[in-house]
Amino acid sequence: MSSTQQPAETASTAPTLNEKSSGVPADEPKLEEGGTPAAAPKPGMQVPDGGWEAWSVVIAGWLILFCTFGFVNAYGSLQVYYVRALEKSDSQVAWIGSFQLWLQFSAGLVVGKVFDEGYGKALVVGGSALYILCVYMTSLCKEYWQVFLAQGLGMGLGLGILFLPAISVIPQWFGRKRALATGIVVSGSSVGGIVFPIMINKLIDSHGYAFAVRACAYIITGCLVIAASLIKFRIPGRKHRPAHMQLPPPDFKSIMTHKTYWVTIVAIFLIMWGLFLPIFFMQVFAELNGIDTNLAFYLLSILNAASVFGRIVPNFLADRFGCFNLLTSVSSCAAILIFVFPLATSKGSIIVFALLYGFFSGAYVSLIPGCMTSLSSNFGEIGVRIGFANAIVSIAALTGSPIDGALLGSGPFHWWKPVGFSGAVVAAGSVVLFVARTMHAREKGTNKV
């Protein structure tokens, strides 16, 4: 970053993220096209972009995503168990996992506002306590409605409270390395998706469901305690900020009339609607096609292992080429892979599919926060933009997997129906995302967005 010092700013000249769309004076610090700072922010708003404190926040965010979204990524293993143990259809069981995802995204509307008011630490501590409690309660469940309340509602609410602070704190600590730091944080969900499916499958077979979930709860408890201790928020609550750290309040009229923002939301909605088909149903698909049970158990872990690289490598490239450019490419690849999913009926083909889909779906999820940051006009509205978008996208997360389960049927299974639906909506979302990318490029006057 530049070491040039500038006069202390006032609230009326707070740093902006998108000069063209906000109409602020030309001497305000700009972002590079990928959504990262092109010049040093003014005093009080400088970001460390490294150092122990900054990277300890990345570790905390990684642990939170490992415990929350990582456990959600293991739901495919629980899907198989619940269908058998609870004697419910795939569509009914899918509602539990999709309800978790819905709460993760829908809670963002309220959580984003609370976060922007400076209560990030309280959100992390409170969300961790609720999430840990509900994981232990899930281990005691024996009926469908009990699992729905403990895992779907309770854990989903805790997930919704924790997810946004873990992601939105990154811009407070990183500028040029923001996309890379975000990718590292989000990779925690991939590692969780490797560890938890193996634990669940192996321990259910050897010690039973209750012990398997409690074992996961022990790990989650330790990780979230460490995360709550490490995470730190640089920007205090609005009422307690000194003048040089004041951010302009979110301009809701500007946000709600930002066409590119709305087109981006439509694109993310469509893609999220179909993205989770292989993640939730791959193990079921493998077992129904006669693939060895032991390999079927490991498919989710293989997929999530590949998504570790998918969440880090594209984010590293996004700092150079732009988040929107990368997001459009990886979502298009995910759409193609969904259409070829039914062809992966041998050991070799389904392993290759799991590796490829893990990489591209993981990249998609991790690039979204960077795109939302790039669309924001100042730091004060990042949480609101992400929270509002998540609230709308939550409807897709809620309904996507149950629709896939209903289209699949209860036997004989018609895989072409859910594949056709999911592939079509992800492909359509990729086209809409390209439109949003083109609009944003015109706003910023460059193709590097």
In order along the chain (449 residues), what is the average pLDDT of each group of 10 residues? 39 39 36 41 64 94 94 85 88 89 82 82 96 96 95 94 89 83 87 90 92 96 97 78 70 90 96 92 87 85 89 83 92 96 93 95 86 82 81 89 86 86 97 96 89
Helices (H), 144-275: 144-147, 156-168, 178-207, 209-230, 252-256, 259-275
Residue for token pair 């709600």: 256
- Which residues does 431 contact at the CB level (< 8 Å), separation at least 6? none
Q: Say if CB 95 and CB 148 are below 8 A apart.
A: yes
User: What is the predicted pLDDT for the residue at 186?
Assistant: 84
- Return the exposure string of 30-69: e unless at least 16 CB atoms fall within 10 Å of the residue's CB, then b: bbbbbbbbebbbbebbebbbeeeebbebbbbbbbbbbbbb
Q: What is the pLDDT of residue 246?
A: 67
CB proximity list for 433: less than 8 A, separation 6 or greater: 264, 267, 268, 271, 324, 327, 328, 331
DSSP-derived letter for residue 378 is B
Distance of alpha carbon 290 from alpha carbon 357, whole angstroms: 21
pLDDT of residue 244: 66
* E-state strands within 49-134: none
Burial class (CB in 10 A: 0-12, 13-18, 19+), 213: buried
Residue 441's Cα: distance from chain center in Å? 24
